[in-house]
Amino acid sequence: MILYIARHGETDWNRTKRLQSRSDIPLNETGFSQAKRMHHYIRCAGLNFTKAVVSPLIRARQTAEIILGEADIPIDFDDRLIELSFGEFEGHYEAELHDKFEETFGEWRRQCFLDAAPGGESLDEAVDRVSSLVHEIRRTNGNCLIVAHQAINMALMAAISQRKDIASLLDFKQRNDQLECWDLLRGTRIERVKI
């Protein structure tokens, strides 16, 4: 069984380096274009899914709807895929956070969210949240597409691979135009495709 993990397309907040976390921000023009390219790649590569599991936030929903197009594939919107809570950092620009929370923000980013932002959620908590979803998907037949967010996708890959060291987490970071392909039974990455 193969699990395909896509990150939502770009939003205006991504473009301006504003932390959106759980804020429900739609795709921008670039994001729609990225999702269309992902749809084209998946169709041309002949990738098949029996189901899709998607974050209920609008940017992930829009991306999934474009990727799947007219395909008759059931979509489950699952709250476990909502982005990691960035707590007090949510809604702020990165430059502002570097000034206001110089040491805390920099360390939080360098540690790949292992420690929670003030008032937020740690990556370990997110791994716990998505582990049950990974187990559910492993019990189904066929390939699955997940469309979610950078940090929660990192948590998914950590749960699948059983690796949460900084080097692995840095490797798990995903751009808006990348598709991850994982062998769920072996817990290993097959490939990362930049669309």
Q: What is the pLDDT of residues 5-55, one digit of tens each?
A: 999 999 999 999 999 999 999 999 999 999 999 999 999 999 999 999 999
Q: What is the pLDDT of residues 42-74, one digit of tens each?
A: 999 999 999 999 999 999 999 999 999 989 999
Catalytic residue among 10, 83, 121, 180: 83
Residue 73 DSSP symbol: -
In this prediction, residue 97 has a pLDDT band, given cuts at 50, 70 and 90, of very high
Question: In the chain, where are the structural domains located?
Answer: 2-194
Classify domain 2-194 at the CATH topology level: Rossmann fold (3.40.50)
Cα–Cα distance measured from residue 153 to residue 126, given in angstroms and rounded to the nearest whole number: 10
Decide: 58 and 150 in contact? Cβ < 8 Å.
no
Q: What is the pLDDT of residues 117-175, one digit of tens each?
A: 999 999 999 999 999 999 999 998 899 999 999 999 999 999 999 999 999 999 999 99
Is 83 part of the annotated catalytic residue set?
A: yes
The Cβ of residue 127 has, within 10 Å, a number of other Cβ atoms equal to 21
Decide: 156 and 148 in contact? Cβ < 8 Å.
yes
* Residue 11 dihedral angles phi and psi, to the nearest 5°: -115, 170
Overall average pLDDT of the 85-109 stretch:
92
